[in-house]
Amino acid sequence: RVLSRYPELQMFSCRVGGSIGEVLVGNVGCSIRLNFTVLGSEVNVAARLEALGRDVGTATLVTEAVAKHVPTVLNGCTRFIGNVRCKGMQLPVRVWEVMAHTEERSALCEKTTAITCLIDQLASPETFETELDDGLAQYPADKFLNFIDSNKSEISAALGARVVWEIVQCSK
């Protein structure tokens, strides 16, 4: 409605990364130059998740600690993206995508989470590939499922070797 009233405005999209934890917030520097900033590993994780959204085709990525609160606080749905090894972090982070709740998105979240949980639980490569093909048949335009499909041979090889496949973030 706003766009019809003000045609000079344009739609834009953005990505969000979210994490919960302890951070240092305040003015940092000396009396000559003070900058308000936020420091801490959780800030770095959130920044890495925001950047990862571009690679995996998602808008809002959060850690598992944040995802636990989404259904009750935001009335949204979540889907498990996988274990992500963020640049600069030693341990992988369990990452979820947050979506607005609709019937179709809830079904998509359930289907995608079932597929990524197969990876997480070291299912057989055949089971994983069958479920992925079924998911792509139902949701061919989903960017994240297409990201998983583009890595299918690597994921299947990891599953065959009984190794948990992790999304390795190279950007930012």
By the 8 A CB rule, do 118 and 130 touch? no
Amino acid at 18: G
Residues 128-151 have pLDDT tens digits of: 999 999 999 999 999 999 999 999
Q: State the pLDDT confidence band at 87, using cuts at 50, 70 and 90.
A: confident
Q: Which two tokens stand for residue 88?
A: 């600069």
Q: Which residue has the tokens 């289907």?
A: 111
Lowest mean pLDDT among 13-22, 65-74, 106-115, 130-139: 65-74
Q: State the pLDDT confidence band at 13, using cuts at 50, 70 and 90.
A: confident
Q: State how far the Cα of 12 lies from the Cα of 109, in Å rounded to an integer.
A: 24
* DSSP-derived secondary structure for the chain: -HHHH-TT-------EEE--S--EEEEEE-SS-EEEEEESHHHHHHHHHHHHHHHHT-SEEEEHHHHTTHHHHT-EEEEEEEEEE-TT-SS-EEEEEEEE--HHHHHHHHHHHHHHHHHHTT--HHHHHHHHHHHHHH-TT-HHHHHHHHTHHHHHHHHHTT----EEP---
Q: Which two tokens stand for residue 157?
A: 């090889």
What confidence score (pLDDT) does residue 95 get? 93
- What residues have CB less than 8 Å from 138, skipping those under 6 apart? 111
